[in-house]
Structures are given as structure tokens and as C-alpha cells.
Structure 1
Amino acid sequence: MNEHFLRLWPVQGSDYAVSVDWLVIGFTGMMALFVVPVFVALWMFIWRYRRGREANRDHRAQSNLPIELAWIILPFIGSLVIFLFSARLFFFARTPPADALEIQVTARQWMWKFQHQGGQREINTLHVPARRPVKLTMISEDVIHSLFFPSLRIKQDVLPQRYSMLWFQAEHSGTYQVYCAEYCGTDHAAMLARLVVLDPGDYQHWLQDNGSAADLISQGETLYRQYGCGSCHDSGNAPPLAGVFNRTVRLADGGQVVADDAYLRDSIVLPQKHLVTGYLPIMPTYSNLLDEEAVQRLVAYLRSLPATASGDPK
């Protein structure tokens, strides 16, 4: 096939993309099934009852109960099928597998930065293994961006000051185009990237060839010690951090919050947002010292801290 042939439909890089395409085709077909006859009848009536033509213009009301019921019930059933299928795809897209490969994404004008758990870092290129779920935890350093994979039929806004999530499983090795789908400034159209899907063996070779001196957790631990976080959190002057990830934290205002990625990030850059009960608000903000990539490394380290033998945070 000619490589320069204009594609009206992006290639399908995942099973999810196939399902989305069938949803679009099914919805379009259902709309055509009910819209086309209306337009055909419209033009037939325009021609039949045009001015100057003899025709029976008796406008007495006529009723056909079977046709009316069919016109109501059949579109309802079709709409319900489309709704159930699309809802299933939505929940599938929002529920990443527990064993998904995690990659951190930071957007800024006008580039995409990716951090792998092994410490590998990329700009405007993302290498992933085929036939393995990949979870992207994303944040923006400036304005709203949107990470769009046309070949995977997925898109997610990337927001400043807030984590968003996207996951996918590419089935076929190859190189796919990635776009920013949210206008983000003068050079928005140049904010491009590539998704490189490798066979699992080739991906392992790529990780080894592009390995870092320390993985993401070790880099976070270095930052933890560099900024002296343990002087408060390990001494009792600040909330303990061992095993805190995904636990319920009691707040000074009487509320509760789950210590997820967003909570850990806010505790670093917005320490006064969630004050833990029993502790003074003495922690300074690190928003002027750490960029989002460094914060992601710290969060990766805090997530890795195990609970004590008693099962409670240290």
C-alpha cells in the first residue's frame, strides 16, 4: 500500500482502538438507519406536493399504532445498546490493571517528558512494551495540555497542580504519532511526540541500554535525604511516612483523606492544604525548589516505604 496515501482512519494499535471503532461504526450506522429514511421521505414529499402539481392534500390525521411503536421502541433499544457498550468501554479505560507498568509524564510548553521506574528519561519519545498494560501518571508544569494517541483512540487532559491518569495496552509493535490535543500556546502544533512500541525482549534491551545510575525510587530517596525530610518525619515532629501510601489520614479539621499520589504531591508543594491532626503546620512549601519531575521521584519513594511490623505507619 502506498505510504503517502491519505489515511482517513488512523491505524489500530490496540484492542481498545478496535472496540472504539466498532462503537463509532455502530453508532453511525444506527443514526443512518433512522435519519436517511427521513431525508428520503422529505425529498419525496417535496417533489410530490410541489406547487402546481395535482395531489391529494387531505390533511386529516391518520394513525398507525404499530409503526409509531416501532419508531419509539427500536431507537430506544438501539440507544440502550450503544450506551451499555460505551459505558463498558469507559469503565475499562478508567480502571488500569494492578500490574500495569507505571511511567511518569510531565508536560510543559512545548514538550513531553517521560520518566520510567528504572530511571530512564525521555523527551518527546515514549518506549513501551507490546502486549503489556502501561499506566501514565501525568501532570503539567504550566498550562493545560492533552495527551492524545490517535492509534490507541485515547486522550486525557494533563492539568497543572493535579495528577491525571491514562492507561493503555498496545498490541502491535511499531511507531505511532502522539499529539497535544489542547491549545497550549503559540507552538501548540509543534508539541509532538512518538510512541515506540517494542516487543517485550527488545524493550528489555532498550531499558538496559538506556539505564540510569539509579531508579526512580532511589532518586527520590536521594532527594528525601538531600532536603532533610527525615529530620522531622522520622523524629516525630511531622507525620510518619512509612506505609502511609493508600492509607486513610485523619485531618486537623476532622475530615479524612486517602494518601494517594495526589495527596503525597500536595503534602510536598502545598503542605498547608491537608493538615494532619496532632501536628503543627510547620512544613514549608517546596514548590519553589522542586520541579514536577523531582516531585514525582519523591512520590515514588514515599509510595515504596513499607509499613512497620505492626501494620501501622512508622
Structure 2
Amino acid sequence: MNFLPEASGFAPRIDGLFYAMLGLSALVVVAVFTTMLVFAIRFRRGRNVDRSGESHRDLGIELTWTLIPFALFVGIFAWSIRLWIDMRTPPGDATTIHVVGKQWMWEFEHLDGQREIDTLHLATGQPVRLVMISQDVIHDVSIPAFRVKQDVLPGRYTQMWFTPTRPGTYNLFCAEYCGTDHSRMGGAVIVQTPQDHARWLASHATGSLAEQGRALFTRYGCAGCHDARSSVHAPRLDGLYGSTVPLADGRQVLADERYLHDSITLPGSEVAAGYAPVMPSYKDRIDEADILALVAYLKVRGTDRETPHASR
């Protein structure tokens, strides 16, 4: 790890924990083998020492070798669990970028509509939250210079976050065997200064992800059932995201990104109360990149963030 740059906010903290555990392990190894060596020399053949095996108990020594390792264990645990919690709790101002893994490439989608293949542009000092899903098999996003990695699963959103701290180009790998060309499934993370990144975003803008989702909503005929003027009795979508949805089986679920995704791909798994389970599944009919755009649109539908010209 000392050959890799520390290019994210987590990198020095993870390296610190790693070296602390390495040092502690080395200390234990030295203590154990030193004790073994001392006893091997002291009780070697021909040495005139007491070998009667009489028990000599010393409460102080017993407490020392019990309590000190216990305290060290608790300290390492507290240190690591605090770091783990921080790595699983993205800040509210983190920029969300959607990631789709597929055999054998990475597709990145920015909220402003920029799409990248096997390359991800980021800005220094800006927290980034990656929301990830797989198109086919299990993949794993690994950025060694950032000291972060996370499995990317089919049919389920996972996430990780970090803050890039050093401009440069860093390797991106798939760290889960995913098929024949797994070793070629890589890419690059390009970290820029905030000014350079703003220029890059402006030069690659193609319409926001929510706008793309609105177009897909029309293309796939979703409005035929979910529009307020439709004669079909289907759940209304305005303001759905973030609300609590009562289900036909008596449960209640939060309408988060997972719920919106499953409502498109597995509509029969959680049927809203008062509605018949008649919606067809779009699993394998819409790729994950388009589902991400639809979810982005549904998240802002009926709010003041919705595209002004979106038809409803």
C-alpha cells in the first residue's frame, strides 16, 4: 500500500489503521518468538535448571497478559467500526453518480446527463456518492488509490462514497471475477481541480438524467396508465419518492430508489394497496442505464425540481 498515492479522504485513515494493525501484529510476533527463544535457551538439554513442573501462579502477570490484549482489541475494534460507519454514511452534499456494471465495461451517469464509459471524471474536495447496479453478474468497483471497493449486484442498488483529494489519473478495477474478460474490465478515474471539472461538465452536458428519464417515460408508454388523466386505475407518481407506500399485504415500505427500481422490474413483489397486480415486468426489456434515468425522473416528478416542460 505504501506504493500507492493517498488520493481520497479515506486513504490516510485506512492506511493508519492498516499500519497500526501491522505494527501490533509484529509486536505480538516478536514477543511470542522472543519468549520461545528465551525458554528454549534456558531449558536446553544439559542445563541445570528446575524441571519439576511445579506451578507458580502470579496474579499480576495473568492480569497483564489478559487485560492488555483485551484493551488493544477493543481499541482496534472501536477505531475500525468508527471508520466503517463513516464510510457507509455519505454527507448530504455528496454528488450522486450512477454506475452500471456489465460484461465487461463500466458506465457512469452524472445527474446533469454526462455519460462515460470506463472513465470517471471527478473534482477534488467534492464528496462523491456512487449508486451502483449490475446489468448481469456480480462485479466490484475497486479504486486502490482511494482505498475503496464495493460489490455491484444485479437487481440491487449498492453505494459507496469518498472525497477525492489529489488531482491525477487513477486505476479503476473490477475486483470480482465476472467472466471471460474480467481482467480487461477496468478503467480510469480522472480527478481534476474544481475549475477544470466545471469546464468538463459544461462541455459534455446532454440534458439531465431526469430529462432523459422523462423522455423514456413517454417512449415506453408509462403515461398511458400512470398519468392523472388516464382511465386506467394505476398508482399516481407525483411526489411518490420519499413517501410511505401501504402495500396490499398490509406492510408499508419507503418509496426509495430500491422501491422504484423494483416497481419497474418486479412489479408483482410489492403491490400498492388498492391496486390490482396488472403491471407487466420490464425486467430484461429495459437496460439498467435507462432504468436509472427513469428512477431519476420519478424522484423529482411532482416536485419543484421537476423539469418545467415535463408533461404529466
Same fold (TM over 0.5): yes
Structure 2 match to 1:253? 249
- Deviations, residues 106-136 of structure 1 (Å, cap 9, x unaligned): 0011111101111111111100111011111
Q: TM-score, normalised by structure 2?
A: 0.93
Q: Report how far residue 56 of structure 1 moved.
A: 2.8
Count residues in correspondence. Answer: 302
Structure 2 match to 1:266? 262
Q: Report how far residue 53 of structure 1 moved.
A: 4.2
Report the AA paired with residue 221 of structure 2.
Answer: G
Task: Work out whether 1:91 is the aligned partner of 2:60.
Answer: no
> 3-state SS of the aligned residue for 1:85?
helix
Q: Report how far residue 50 of structure 1 moved.
A: 3.1
Q: TM-score, normalised by structure 1?
A: 0.92
User: Is the contact between residue 244 and residue 307 of structure 1 (CA under 8 Å) also seen in structure 2?
Assistant: no
User: Is the contact between residue 102 and residue 117 of structure 1 (CA under 8 Å) also seen in structure 2?
Assistant: yes
> 3-state SS of the aligned residue for 1:36?
helix
Q: Report how far residue 52 of structure 1 moved.
A: 4.3
Task: Work out whether 1:175 is the aligned partner of 2:169.
Answer: yes
Structure 1 match to 2:63? 69
Structure 2 match to 1:300? 296
Report the AA paired with residue 116 of structure 2.
Answer: E
1:116-127 correspondence to structure 2 within 5 Å: 116-127=110-121
Structure 1 match to 2:208? 215
| d(CA) in 1 for partners of 2:34, 2:293 | 61
1:184-263 correspondence to structure 2 within 5 Å: 184-212=178-206, 214-234=207-227, 235=230, 237-263=233-259
Task: Work out whether 1:34 is the aligned partner of 2:28.
Answer: yes
What is the percentage of aligned positions where both structures have the same residue?
Answer: 45
- Deviations, residues 234-273 of structure 1 (Å, cap 9, x unaligned): 2361111111111110000011111111110010111111
> 3-state SS of the aligned residue for 1:45?
helix
Structure 2 match to 1:278? 274
- Deviations, residues 164-187 of structure 1 (Å, cap 9, x unaligned): 011110111111111111111122
Task: Work out whether 1:56 is the aligned partner of 2:35.
Answer: no
Aligned partner (choices 123, 126, 131) of residue 125 of structure 2 = 131
> 3-state SS of the aligned residue for 1:22?
helix
Task: Work out whether 1:103 is the aligned partner of 2:100.
Answer: no
Task: Work out whether 1:289 is the aligned partner of 2:282.
Answer: no
> Which structure 1 residue ranges, 5 or more long, are not aligned?
1-6, 309-313
Aligned-residue CA RMSD (Å): 1.6
Q: 1:116 to 1:199 in 2, by over 3 A?
A: same
Q: Name whichever of 129-138 and 285-294 sits farther off.
A: 285-294
| d(CA) in 2 for partners of 1:69, 1:82 | 20
Q: Report how far residue 228 of structure 1 moved.
A: 1.8
Q: Name whichever of 291-300 and 221-230 sits farther off.
A: 221-230
Report the AA paired with residue 232 of structure 1.
Answer: C
User: Is the contact between residue 114 and residue 121 of structure 1 (CA under 8 Å) also seen in structure 2?
Assistant: yes
| d(CA) in 1 for partners of 2:182, 2:41 | 50
| d(CA) in 2 for partners of 1:288, 1:76 | 52
| d(CA) in 2 for partners of 1:64, 1:189 | 57
Structure 1 match to 2:309? none
Structure 1 match to 2:8? 14
> 3-state SS of the aligned residue for 1:15?
coil
